[in-house]
Amino acid sequence: MRDALALPLRQLKELRTKVTKESIKDFLLSIPRTPFNVFSAVILALGCLVTLLRFTAGLGFVTNLDDNTPWGVWNPFKIAGVALSACGYCACAAYYIFGLKHYKAVVRPAITCAFLGYLIAMVGMLHYDVGQPWRLVFPIVISQGTTSILFEVGVCVFLYLCVLFAEWTPAAFEWLGWDKIRAFVIKITLPMTIFGIILSTMHQSSLGALILTSPGKLHPLWYSAYIPVFFFISSMFAGLSMVVVEGVLSSRWQRNATDEAYLNSLDGVALSSARGCSLIMIGYLCIRVFDLAMSNSWAYFSTGYGALCLLELIGFVLAPAILYAAGAREKRIGLIKLAAFWTVAGVILNRFIIYLFALNWQLPPDERYSPSAMEIILLLFIVVLIITVYRVICWLMPVLRGHSGYADH
């Protein structure tokens, strides 16, 4: 399968040398009208419209939010996005810290994905929720609230975004041919990786700790003093699974942006990730069950929320963990790929339960929140935006492939 975006390369080169109305038109018309490209274009256009409405007509016009639910469907989406962006620190830890050499080819795609996840899904989307983008730096430079968990979240996002950007730049520098600054960034890779893992640890867990402030709002089956630990541990297998998922998607849809080394390393990466994930997921399941025992919440299992909890723990933690273990044991890469998609779905489900489905559980049904069409369109817009930017970066820069001029990275 060819990446349909790869075709208009010639037109883009022309665009770089001479930007005129004609050349822009030529470039846009040269993009192949495959179904996904057309869908992307429609969603991007609708998203721009919703963005305009959000910042002119306001939250009330675009969303179904109210005083009971001041954070809607965008919030769990952001938090799930951060969990999946854990692929950045997972791949870096595997390759640079634990010396798993076969992860080399997947480090850059993982970092690119994590960087875009943080930049667009977290920081970009935060603007839609809180507005007033010019005040985004206030927690860093003007009003630090060191006892607030949101302060930790803000500082970690800010610092980790910087680290991810720095880790991502070698691909851009190789594309631009800026050797000196690239050499400098490569030199500080290890300390940056360690700093990135520390920040990820705190940031992933602090997104769980945020919900500690609302003991009355979140259902007792999920509310726990250990929720920061749950978030951090689940980000590990979310990240490792995302590495596998990226491999599946890129090798299928972006094959002409890849090279042999990348394609050949995918099976080894899938096997190692499967071993890691199955272990971590079983551990995660254990601590979740121990926590239910400690809080003695068994009585809730007779309610609908109990069924949801069972579905999450058995259907989206235990089942993919077993699938991973079977795939790793029998060396069946197909099973592992299926388990990876399943696990990613499970982590997204977990974040949506905690920040949406099981929140405000005591409210009567007619006061419960459900997202508006424009909120959903904006979600799709963010997803498509990330995918499009990722495709453009992978197509231009040595992300899924090595650069012939640079042997090591």
Partner 1 sequence: TCPTGALVFGKREELLRLARQRIAKSPGKYVDHIYGEKEMGGTNWLYLSPVPHAELGQPEVGTTSVPELTAGALGAVPMVAGLWPVFLGGAYAISKRREKVAAEEQANAVSDAVKTAEEKAAASLEAALAKAEKEKETALENAAKEQETALAAKDEESAAAIAKIQEEAAAKIAKAEKATAKTKAASGTARAPAKKAAKAPAKPPKVSPDKKEP
In whole angstroms, give the CA distance from residue 161 to residue 155. Answer: 10
140 makes contact with partner 1 (CB under 8 A):
no
First to last CA, the chain: 28
Query: Which among 93-101, 117-125, 162-170, 254-262 is the span making contact with partner 1, rule CB under 8 A?
Result: 93-101
Number of chain positions touching partner 1 (CB under 8 A)? 24
CB 345 within 8 A of CB 316: yes
Alpha helices (H) in 117-178, listed in sequence order? 125-130, 138-141, 149-176
CB 390 within 8 A of CB 400: no
Environment class of 221 (CB within 10 Å of its CB; exposed 0-12, middle 13-18, buried 19+): buried
* Identity of the residue numbered 67: D
In whole angstroms, give the CA distance from residue 371 to residue 384. Answer: 19
Query: Which among 6-14, 33-41, 143-151, 364-372 is the span making contact with partner 1, rule CB under 8 A?
Result: 143-151
- Displacement of CA 194 from its chain's centroid (Å): 20
Q: Quote the Cα angle for 194-199-205, to 5°.
A: 130
**Residue 69: HSE in the Cβ half-sphere, 13 Å Cα cutoff:** 27
Nearest distance in Å: CB 210, partner 1: 8
DSSP state of 64: -
Query: Which among 211-219, 282-290, 329-337, 380-388 is the span making contact with partner 1, rule CB under 8 A?
Result: 211-219
99 makes contact with partner 1 (CB under 8 A):
yes
225 makes contact with partner 1 (CB under 8 A):
yes
319 makes contact with partner 1 (CB under 8 A):
no
12 makes contact with partner 1 (CB under 8 A):
no
Nearer to partner 1, 202 or 270 (CB): 202
Nearest distance in Å: CB 367, partner 1: 11
93 makes contact with partner 1 (CB under 8 A):
yes
CB 312 within 8 A of CB 269: no
Nearest distance in Å: CB 235, partner 1: 14
206 makes contact with partner 1 (CB under 8 A):
yes
In whole angstroms, give the CA distance from residue 157 to residue 400. Answer: 26
Among 9, 70, 138, 148, binds partner 1 (CB under 8 A): 148
Binding mask 383-402 for partner 1 (x = CB under 8 A): --------------------
Nearer to partner 1, 52 or 190 (CB): 190
Nearest distance in Å: CB 87, partner 1: 18
Contacts to partner 1 from residues 176-205, by CB under 8 A: 190, 194, 197-198, 201-202, 205
209 makes contact with partner 1 (CB under 8 A):
yes
Nearest distance in Å: CB 202, partner 1: 6
In whole angstroms, give the CA distance from residue 89 to residue 195. Answer: 10
Nearest distance in Å: CB 84, partner 1: 22
Q: Quote the Cα angle for 47-113-351, to 5°.
A: 70
DSSP state of 82: H
Nearer to partner 1, 167 or 375 (CB): 167
Among 213, 264, 303, 370, binds partner 1 (CB under 8 A): 213
Among 6, 12, 46, 212, binds partner 1 (CB under 8 A): 212
143 makes contact with partner 1 (CB under 8 A):
no
- Structure tokens, 62: 């675009």
- In the block, tokens 């094959």 appear at 255
DSSP state of 133: G
Among 56, 132, 147, 296, binds partner 1 (CB under 8 A): 147
For residue 218, the cross-strand partners are 359
96 makes contact with partner 1 (CB under 8 A):
yes
CB 61 within 8 A of CB 51: no
Binding site for partner 1 (CB under 8 A): 93, 96-99, 147-149, 152, 190, 194, 197-198, 201-202, 205-206, 209, 212-213, 215-216, 225, 228
